[in-house]
């Protein structure tokens, strides 16, 4: 009996043997017809391309020797339909942009979650349709900026980890900047106004906090991110312990979201509900104001001040004295 021919071949290029072993074991458990070949460096990967036509390449962009981008290009010369997942240990937005321009199907920052990598591999090999690929599909950015793509990826990862129905990031005007999953149909028209009001009211008490609402057999979790932005998470009804776990997960994700918001919106947004343009800051003026007396004046000092002032009596209704008219510029000139 002839051995079964593997229908899907994956080339995994990974320097660390322990990491490679874990990834290989996970990938081969996806399907009995998957075969994974590991190459510790670009030289071995090039040799593997000569002997096998691969369906999927998983490689680090910063590989010594030939980079992951160059290796992907070499592999596609032999196998044009080769899919690629690029990895990067450097959390720079430029890495994602380079991967997208080179034509990679998916991209992850290291350390990558095994579940996320397996989900992407299954989808790219056509073994299963993923309901929520936590990584950004680079071939379908549709003109979105790299920063917006990063925000979407972070939200997708958070939704995936918490198994939430949907999640959205909105600004001080209620505009949704990024989202993942399924959000309520009436979010913009009906839910957003009261959510903004609740967010504003909570911000007056504490700069950061988490509010929970129970609406139509769902829990809505509203978290302030600062700078007028907020995060809305929609989930099935949660027990107290699960709510606490969700709150902790959101707190851990906040610094990453704020970092991407800084890149996407370098100018500081006005406070929620404030539409007045921000005036330029004057460092000298601020220093003088900081040193100025800010204690409130006592009632006795206020009464003493007004007693010492000479206040002209108010005229009768509808009448002005000549002196008052002159002060207003209404008296005839001589």
- If pLDDT is split at 50, 70 and 90, which confidence band does 131 have? very low
The DSSP output letter for 41 is S
Confidence check: pLDDT of 211 > 60: yes
pLDDT for residue 99 is more than 70: yes
SS3 334: coil
Cα separation, 278 vs 216, whole angstroms? 40
What percentage of the chain reaches a pLDDT higher than 90? Answer: 19
User: Do 249 and 126 share a structural domain?
Assistant: no
**Domain endpoint, select from 141, 162, 192:** 141
Q: Are residues 135 and 209 in the same domain?
A: no
pLDDT at 40 (0 to 100): 93
Domain with 179 in it: what CATH number?
3.30.450.30
Identify the band that residue 49 occupies on the pLDDT scale cut at 50, 70 and 90. very high
Say whether both 48 and 160 belong to one domain: no
The more confidently predicted of residues 173 and 320 is: 173
Assess whether 12 and 97 both reside in one domain.
Answer: yes
pLDDT, residue 307, reads 65
The number of distinct structural domains making up the chain is 2
Please give the mean pLDDT across all residues of the chain. 75
Residue at 234 is within a domain? yes
In a domain, 299, yes or no: no
Are 266 and 154 in the same domain? yes
Single residue among 141, 171, 201 that ends a domain in this structure = 141
Residue 295 in domain = no
pLDDT of residue 330: 58
Domain co-membership, 163 together with 106: no
Q: How far is CA 47 from the centre of its chain?
A: 40
Looking at the fold, whether 43 and 155 belong to one and the same domain comes out as no
> Is residue 268 classed as helix, strand or coil in its secondary structure?
coil
Q: Write down the pLDDT at residue 297.
A: 55
Helix %, strand %, coil % for the chain, to 5? 45, 20, 40
Query: Do 63 and 171 share a domain, yes or no?
Result: no
The mean pLDDT of 142-155, rounded to a whole number, is 64
Residue 94 lies in a domain: yes
Q: 204: domain range?
A: 144-272
Q: What is the pLDDT of residue 262?
A: 78
Among 29, 36, 40, which Cα is nearest to 8's? 36
CA 102 to chain centre: 24
Whether residues 93 and 148 share a domain: the answer is no
Binned at pLDDT 50, 70 and 90, residue 139 comes out as very low
Highest mean pLDDT out of 175-189, 267-281, 320-334: 175-189
Q: What CATH number is given to the structural domain containing 21?
A: 3.40.50.2300
Whether residues 41 and 83 fall in one domain: yes
Helix (H, G, I), strand (E, B) or coil at 315: coil
What does the pLDDT read at residue 57? 97
């Amino acid at each position: 009996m002839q051995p079964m021919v593997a229908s899907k071949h994956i080339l995994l290029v990974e320097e660390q043997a322990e990491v490679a072993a874990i990834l290989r074991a996970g990938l081969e458990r996806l399907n009995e017809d998957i075969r994974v070949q590991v190459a510790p460096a670009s030289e071995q990967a090039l040799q593997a391309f000569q002997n096998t036509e691969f369906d999927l390449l998983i490689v680090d962009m910063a590989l010594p020797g030939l980079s992951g981008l160059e290796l992907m290009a070499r592999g596609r010369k032999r196998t044009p339909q080769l899919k690629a997942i690029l990895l990067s240990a450097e959390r720079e937005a430029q890495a994602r942009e380079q991967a997208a321009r080179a034509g990679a199907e998916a991209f992850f920052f290291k350390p990558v979650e095994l579940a996320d990598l397996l989900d992407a591999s299954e989808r790219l090999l056509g073994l299963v349709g993923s309901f929520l690929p936590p990584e950004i599909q680079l071939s379908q950015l549709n003109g979105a900026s790299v920063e917006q793509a990063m925000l979407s990826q972070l939200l997708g990862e958070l939704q995936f980890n918490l198994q939430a129905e949907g999640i959205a990031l909105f600004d001080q005007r209620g505009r949704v900047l990024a989202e993942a999953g399924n959000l309520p149909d009436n979010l913009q028209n009906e839910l957003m106004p009261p959510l903004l009001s609740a967010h504003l009211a909570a911000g007056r008490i504490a700069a950061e906090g988490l509010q929970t609402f129970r609406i139509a057999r769902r829990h809505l979790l509203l978290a302030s991110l600062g700078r007028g932005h907020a995060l809305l998470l929609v989930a099935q009804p949660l027990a107290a312990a699960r709510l606490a776990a969700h709150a902790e997960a959101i707190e851990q994700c906040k610094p990453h979201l704020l970092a991407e918001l800084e890149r996407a919106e370098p100018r500081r947004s006005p406070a929620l509900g404030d539409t007045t343009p921000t005036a330029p800051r004057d460092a000298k003026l601020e220093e003088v104001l900081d040193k100025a007396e800010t204690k409130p004046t006592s009632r006795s000092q206020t009464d003493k001040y007004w007693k010492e002032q000479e206040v002209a009596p108010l005229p009768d209704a509808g009448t002005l004295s000549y002196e008052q008219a002159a002060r207003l510029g209404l008296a005839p000139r001589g």
